[in-house]
């Protein structure tokens, strides 16, 4: 009891004073309490619509240096310290190529704003990952990835910015509240999910809980898919935006639903029995048999889709990444934006895979880098000419300048044979979620990682890691999916109360343009892998009518 009182007393005392002035004074003094070689730029009280409690907003800079080409680098960060603090700290791993400081809210896909980490009593930090995305405007669309020419900037992006910033952020948090952090979490999705998985291996005692959303933990391998997709689509049409129309993808998705939707016991436009679907769905059956067929697609279009789902291979038929599951979310706006065409006129409507994907593969994920100019046609041409025999091995290459390969920097050191021994011994817990229709990082790569972990631990992976697949969901919210769900509270309960998560209730959102009319108002359980939700009895609308079962 004495220890508990010691922990809550400082926060409770401030709350009892009832005035934000006490927090304001503490906030302002942080400017003078910066650790060595850290500059606090601002420290002021703030409040906005997404945060329930007033908070101290701190912005700072550290690790300032001159890098390759006399370019300036630094780690810029933002720390939000809410009045309603519960002894929790969250490192927010940001996605994409980093390069800017995202609002430190602890916002994770699936959460409503009231469920953000900062509204659960977390102090939250975020950073730019050690580089400025706007530092090289002369590079055009390649500007955000030019940091890839600097070895230390690559390393900061891959993992070391977290190693440098985390102790600084913790010092500021504990100085502000005059109390120790009780629980430490890492939260991230996409590239941020990759960073969370890297942290579990590189920094196994840094975090008590890790929340991992659709991780690109094999990111350089996944980047090979961009070239693979562009080449597959180019076989259909020189203009890849015309290779597969929205009508084509709708048709493909609907035919898949005809064969797979009811495998989970109910027809609701979502495929929960995903593994069984891969066994029964046969894309080749959709090929037109003659020029007079209408309920079909041409051979070249089906061929492109099958090739894209197969994943990149070299001429020896060796897989260079992984395959992708067939799922109804292929018709989503998100899937099309990443693979086929985007609504961004400045990109000539080229997909994200061409612009961000092509630039990242050329400048960050291969050694030596290829100095592709930052216009969409140069980036597309780079992907079209990418040689999977000669160029793909560059993700593993080193040279005199880059002594670490892109794969060794970006992926967990034990990715091939994961054990997470130290993380587990520390008491760490991890929750992972991944959309079955993710067009950027294949859910099957995440499943394979989990299967390896479970094998290495002789079936004991669920003791500290749980994976949840989300049918229909692409890269983030969207798709024909129940894409609103809270994974943070189950992680908190697991870390702080040792209550292991079971199924997690997910709901459809009316504002999601990809859901059908009959999907409105549905709730469904997300089941821990390898189980899936199967209809049992009761209302077709409610998650409670389903049970988690394992495919036979």
Is 393 within 8 Å of 387 (Cβ atoms)?
no
- Cα 454 to Cα 281, 448, 504, distances in angstroms: 28, 10, 21
Marked catalytic residue, from 98, 229, 438, 486: 438
Q: For 412, what's the count of Cα atoms within 13 Å in the CB-facing half-sphere?
A: 26
- List the end-to-end C-alpha distance of the chain, in Å, as a whole number: 50
Q: Tell me whether residue 426 is one of the annotated catalytic residues.
A: no
Marked catalytic residue, from 127, 208, 475, 486: 475
Give percent helix, percent strand, percent coil of the chain, each to the nearest 5: 45, 15, 40
Q: What is the DSSP letter of 354?
A: I
Here the tokens at position 316 are 């020896």
**Residue 20: what pLDDT?**
65
Is 94 within 8 Å of 75 (Cβ atoms)?
no
Q: Tell me whether residue 248 is one of the annotated catalytic residues.
A: no
Q: Is 60 helix (H, G, I), strand (E, B) or coil?
A: strand
Q: Is 162 helix (H, G, I), strand (E, B) or coil?
A: helix
CA dihedral (428, 434, 440, 441) in degrees, to 10, reads: 50
Q: Tell me whether residue 48 is one of the annotated catalytic residues.
A: no
Q: Which residues pair with 74 in a beta bridge?
A: none
Where the chain has pLDDT below 50, the residues are 1-19
**Residue 13: what pLDDT?**
39
How far is Cα 370 from Cα 360, in angstroms, rounded to an integer?
10
**Residue 21: what pLDDT?**
72
**Residue 513: what pLDDT?**
96
Q: For 354, what's the count of Cα atoms within 13 Å in the CB-facing half-sphere?
A: 30
How far is Cα 317 from Cα 369, in angstroms, rounded to an integer?
25
**Residue 491: what pLDDT?**
98
Is 105 within 8 Å of 92 (Cβ atoms)?
yes
Residue 309's nearest CA partner among 342, 263, 344, 277 is: 277
Marked catalytic residue, from 74, 126, 127, 190: 190
How far is Cα 113 from Cα 277, in angstroms, rounded to an integer?
34
Which residues of 357-463 form beta strands (DSSP E)? 429-435
Q: For 145, what's the count of Cα atoms within 13 Å in the CB-facing half-sphere?
A: 23
Contacts for 420 with CB less than 8 Å, ≥ 6 apart:
200, 201, 204, 414, 428, 430, 453, 464, 465
**Residue 206: what pLDDT?**
98
């Amino acid at each position: 009891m004495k220890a508990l009182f010691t922990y809550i007393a400082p926060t409770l005392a401030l709350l009892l004073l009832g005035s934000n002035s006490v927090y304001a004074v503490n906030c302002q003094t942080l400017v003078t309490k910066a650790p060595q070689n850290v500059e606090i730029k601002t420290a002021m009280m703030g409040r906005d619509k997404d945060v329930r409690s007033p908070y101290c907003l701190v912005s700072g800079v550290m690790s300032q240096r001159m890098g390759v080409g006399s370019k300036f680098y630094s780690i810029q960060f933002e720390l939000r310290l809410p009045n309603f603090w519960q002894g929790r700290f969250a490192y927010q791993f940001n996605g994409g190529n980093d390069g800017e400081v995202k609002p430190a809210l602890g916002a994770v896909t699936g959460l409503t704003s009231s469920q953000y980490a900062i509204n659960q009593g977390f102090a939250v930090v975020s950073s730019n990952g050690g580089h400025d995305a706007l530092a090289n405007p002369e590079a055009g669309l390649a500007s955000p990835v030019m940091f890839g020419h600097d070895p230390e900037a690559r390393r900061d992006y891959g993992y070391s910015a977290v190693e440098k910033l985390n102790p600084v952020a913790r010092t500021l948090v504990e100085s502000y509240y005059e109390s120790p952090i009780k629980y430490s979490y890492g939260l991230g999705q996409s590239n941020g999910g990759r960073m969370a998985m890297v942290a579990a291996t590189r920094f196994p005692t840094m975090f008590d809980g890790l929340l991992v959303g659709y991780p690109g933990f094999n990111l350089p391998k996944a980047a090979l898919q961009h070239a693979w997709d562009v080449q597959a689509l180019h076989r259909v049409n020189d203009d890849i935006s015309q290779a597969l129309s929205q009508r084509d993808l709708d048709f493909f998705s609907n035919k898949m639903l005809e064969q797979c939707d009811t495998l989970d016991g109910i027809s609701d436009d979502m495929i929960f029995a995903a593994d069984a679907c891969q066994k029964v769905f046969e894309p080749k059956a959709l090929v037109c048999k003659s020029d007079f067929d209408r309920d079909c697609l041409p051979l070249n279009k089906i061929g492109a889709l099958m090739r894209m789902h197969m994943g990149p291979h070299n001429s020896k038929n060796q897989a260079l990444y992984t395959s992708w599951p067939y799922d109804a979310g292929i018709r989503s706006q998100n899937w099309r934006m990443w693979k086929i065409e985007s609504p961004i006129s400045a990109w000539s409507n080229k997909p994200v895979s061409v612009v961000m994907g092509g630039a990242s593969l050329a400048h960050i994920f291969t050694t030596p880098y290829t100095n592709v100019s930052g216009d969409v046609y140069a980036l597309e041409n780079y992907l079209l000419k990418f040689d999977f025999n000669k160029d793909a091995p560059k993700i593993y290459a080193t040279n005199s300048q880059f002594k670490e390969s892109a794969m060794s920097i970006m992926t967990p050191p034990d990715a091939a044979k994961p054990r997470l021994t130290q993380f587990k011994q520390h008491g760490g817990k991890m929750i992972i979620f991944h959309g079955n229709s993710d067009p950027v990082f294949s859910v099957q790569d995440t499943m394979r990682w989990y299967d390896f972990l479970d094998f290495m631990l002789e079936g004991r992976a669920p003791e500290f890691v749980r994976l949840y697949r989300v049918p229909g969901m692409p890269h983030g919210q969207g798709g024909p999916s129940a894409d609103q769900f809270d994974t943070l509270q189950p992680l908190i309960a697991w870390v702080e109360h040792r209550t292991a998560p079971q199924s997690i209730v997910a709901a459809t959102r009316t504002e999601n343009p990809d859901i059908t009319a009959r999907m409105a108002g549905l709730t469904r359980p997300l089941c821990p892998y390898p189980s899936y939700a199967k209809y049992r009895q009761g209302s077709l609308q409610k998650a409670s009518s389903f049970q988690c079962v394992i495919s036979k």
